Homo-oligomer: A and B are copies of this chain.
Amino acid sequence: MEVGFLGLGIMGKAMAANLLRHGFRVTVWNRTLAMLSDPSAALSVVFDKDGVLEQIGEGKGYVDMSTVDAATSCKISEAVKQKGGAFVEAPVSGSKKPAEDGQLVILAAGDKALYDDMVPAFDVLGKKSFFLGEMGNGAKMKLVVNMIMGSMMNAFSEGLCLADKSGLSPQTLLDVLDLGAIANPMFKMKGPSMLQGSYNPAFPLKHQQKDMRLALSLGDENAVSMPVAAASNEAFKKARSLGLGDLDFSAVHEVLKGTGGSG
């Protein structure tokens, strides 16, 4: 089976490599997967000159694995369907490392037949794929997961700062956390580098903040009040204002650290 691939950023490179490793021919052909960084990129690759829309048609499918809002996915879906093509949105949960290890979680929605065709590729890219029903549900599920993750990162960073400023060993806090009910891979993976102030971008902060923004917009449409997500989003925006947007999203720790004066 031949698979097209658009977008070779942090995630895309790792994913395309996995497909090649498992004998897929990865070219721009009839099944196209896109891995792009935001709604505008996802739209332009479809609607611009020489874009997907010009190649799509009967019996062809297009799969967008970027994280965009439901409206963007639906807009693409409409256009692809009008040309007789099939469309599946399939954003992924997981960042650079899981992408390299083929351990992503794939959140697919849209055309069920195309989804079924894609399962072999999804099995290479991820440890599990979900078919979530109507177009937009994949995007929505991804946003909900990333919103929780973004708030957890802020809670974690606040805890590391509080430990440090209170005369406790942040390293011991990591050990204690890892033994308890809230132990999770993100704390284990990010904690040590955060303590060193090293933020090599597995998931860029500006993309995390974009997802927080989109999740808050989704909450706004549905009148869901989310004060903790809102506070976390403001911390990520503060990090952007300090020029940290291209670092890993754990760089929000730099915002929370402060200077240790006692005013």
Q: Which residue numbers of A lie inside 8 Å of B, CB to CB?
A: 93-95, 98, 105, 107, 127-128, 130, 132, 137, 140-141, 144-145, 147-149, 151-152, 154-156, 158-159, 161-163, 165-168, 172-173, 175-177, 179-186, 189, 205-206, 209, 213, 215, 218-235, 237-246, 256, 258-263
Smallest CB gap from A222: residue in B: B165
Q: Which residues of B contact A224 (CB under 8 A)?
A: 158, 161-162, 165-166, 237, 241, 258
Cβ–Cβ < 8 Å partners of A189 in chain B: 181
The interface residues of chain A, by DSSP majority, are classed as: helix
Q: How far is the CB of A154 from chain B (nearest CB, A)?
A: 4
Q: Are B148 and A182 in contact (CB under 8 A)?
A: yes
Contact across chains for A225 and B258 when beta carbons are under 8 A apart:
yes
Do B162 and A145 touch across chains, with their CB atoms under 8 A apart? no
A105 touches B180 (CB 8 A): yes
A1 to chain B, nearest CB (A): 25
- Given A165-B223, A176-B105: A149 in contact with B181 (beta carbons within 8 A): yes
Measured in the bound complex, the distance between the Cα atoms of B152 and A244 in whole Å is: 24
A163-B141, A263-B206 known; A242 vs B220 contact (CB < 8 Å): no
Cα separation A233 to B181 with both chains bound (whole Å):
20
* Complex Cα spacing A223 to B236, Å: 9
Complex copy number for this chain: 4
User: Do A222 and B263 have beta carbons less than 8 Å apart?
Assistant: no
Could you write out 15 A-B pairs with CB less than 8 Å apart? A105-B176, A130-B172, A137-B167, A140-B166, A141-B173, A145-B177, A147-B162, A155-B155, A155-B229, A162-B222, A180-B185, A223-B261, A225-B258, A230-B230, A245-B261
Residues of B within 8 A of A94 (CB): 180-181
The answer to whether A148 touches B137, judged by C-beta atoms less than 8 angstroms apart, is: no
CB of B168 within 8 A of CB of A144, answer yes
Closest B residue, CB atoms, query A156: B148
From the candidates B128, B173, B182, B259, name the one contacting A179 in the complex (CB within 8 A): B128
Q: A222-B165, A225-B258 are in contact. Are A147 and B173 (CB under 8 A)?
A: no
Which residues of the partner chain B approach A180 to less than 8 Å between Cβ atoms?
A: 93-94, 105, 145, 149, 185
Identity of the chain B residue whose Cβ is nearest the Cβ of A185 in the assembled complex = B181
